[in-house]
Structures are given as structure tokens and as C-alpha cells.
């Protein structure tokens, strides 16, 4: 019995060691300019956009995103097919090694369900990204009012940044 226990501890220690060697370094995973489009106060869903950078040599898979300010967060893809706006949930986001993945209006985005308060321009919304490796990262997305700014959404698609600072944390 004692031998079996020791074996178990040994395997467990090996497992811990193995998982720690595969942990994602915080310098390897970046969330750039995360933002949420301010929506009408009655809106039940919002969308978040950002650029996710993978600065490592292995792919990252984001499986889950959570936010204390929303009932649920899903990864969605919008596309226009034969003039029809279609949207579907996608189970995970894979960011290839040394690549950036853009979530932008009219394309991939995070669909944020049922905010627990009305979000206004300038508010910061914590988002937690959980990877298939078990690692998680946090970033604060800034709520931006796009209406009335005379700023076309096409500017956003071109990846223009407005220099907003965002908090970026690595959680274990």
C-alpha cells in the first residue's frame, strides 16, 4: 500500500513538473487594445474586440473566457455570405506560433451576454482568458463610445490604436 502511495506521489510530482514546464510565459501571450463597443443601455448583448498575440513557438488555444460583469462570454464569428449576415459560435480560438489574431467588427469577436450594469464609455471590464494548457490571463477591456465620434468603424478594422493603456496580468 505504501509503495502504491509513493508511486502515486511520484507520478503526481512528475505531472506537476511537466505541466509547469509547459506553462505559458506571460511575455508570450499578449492582449492588445481590448475594447468593448458601448451599446444602448437596453442592449442585452455587447461585443469585445482585440488583437491576441502569440510570441511563442507553440500554438495557444483559448477555450474559455469569463468576466464578472457578464452572465456569459462566447467566442463568435460574423461573416457576410451572399449578402447575408451570419453569426456562429466557435468553440475555441487558436493563435498560431508567432502570430497575431485580430478580433474585429464584422469578424471574430467575443459575444458578451447580459451585462450586470450599464457600461459607459471609459469603463474597464475585466476579462479572463483560459487556455487549454490551464494557464489563464487577465486583461481589462475599455468601453468605447463609437457613435457621434465621426469615427468610422473602418478605422478600427485597420487596426488603428489610440494608445489606450490596458492592464495585463498572468494568473496561475
Partner 1 sequence: MTANSSFFKNNRTFIAFAVSAIIGFFLWRVYDVQIKDPIDRIMLDQPQSITPFSLIGSNNKPFTNEQLKGKWTFLFFGYTSCPDVCPTTLTEMATLSELLSHSNDLNQIQFIFISVDPDRDTPDHLKNFIAYFNESFVAATGTIEQLNTLTDQLSVQHRRLKEQGDEYLVEHSAELLLFSPESTLLARFSAPHHADKISKLFSQLIKGYTVTK
Interface contacts to partner 1, rule CB under 8 A: 37, 39-47, 76, 78, 80, 83-89, 105-106, 109, 111-113, 146-148, 150-154, 157
Written as nine digits, the cell of 115 is 451585462
Cβ closer to partner 1: 7 or 79? 79
In whole angstroms, give the CA distance from residue 49 to residue 32: 9
> In 23-148, which residue ranges form alpha helices assigned H by DSSP?
none
CB of 45 to partner 1, least distance (A): 4
Task: Fill in the DSSP letter of residue 57.
Answer: S
CB of 172 to partner 1, least distance (A): 31
In whole angstroms, give the CA distance from residue 152 to residue 146: 8
CB of 91 to partner 1, least distance (A): 13
CB of 122 to partner 1, least distance (A): 16
Cβ closer to partner 1: 151 or 170? 151
Chain Cα centroid distance, residue 149: 26
Cβ closer to partner 1: 74 or 100? 74
> How many C-beta atoms lie closer than 10 Å to residue 16's C-beta?
10
In whole angstroms, give the CA distance from residue 86 to residue 95: 23
Cβ closer to partner 1: 41 or 163? 41
Chain Cα centroid distance, residue 63: 9
Cβ closer to partner 1: 21 or 88? 88
CB of 37 to partner 1, least distance (A): 6
Amino acid at each position: 500500500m505504501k509503495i502504491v502511495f509513493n508511486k502515486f506521489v511520484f507520478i503526481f510530482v512528475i505531472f506537476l513538473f511537466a505541466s509547469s514546464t509547459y506553462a505559458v510565459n506571460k511575455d508570450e501571450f499578449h492582449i492588445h487594445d481590448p475594447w468593448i463597443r458601448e451599446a444602448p443601455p437596453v442592449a442585452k448583448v455587447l461585443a469585445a474586440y482585440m488583437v491576441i498575440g502569440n510570441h511563442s513557438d507553440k500554438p495557444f488555444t483559448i477555450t474559455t473566457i469569463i468576466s464578472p460583469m457578464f452572465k456569459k462570454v462566447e467566442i463568435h464569428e460574423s461573416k457576410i455570405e451572399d449578402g447575408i449576415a451570419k453569426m456562429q459560435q466557435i468553440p475555441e480560438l487558436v493563435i498560431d506560433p508567432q502570430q497575431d489574431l485580430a478580433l474585429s467588427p464584422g469578424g471574430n469577436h467575443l459575444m458578451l451576454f447580459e451585462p450586470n450594469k450599464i457600461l459607459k464609455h471609459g469603463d474597464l471590464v475585466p476579462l479572463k482568458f483560459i487556455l487549454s494548457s490551464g494557464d489563464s490571463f487577465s486583461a481589462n477591456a475599455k468601453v468605447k463610445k463609437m457613435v457621434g465620434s465621426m469615427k468610422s468603424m473602418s478605422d478600427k478594422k485597420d487596426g488603428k490604436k489610440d494608445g489606450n493603456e490596458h492592464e495585463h496580468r498572468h494568473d496561475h
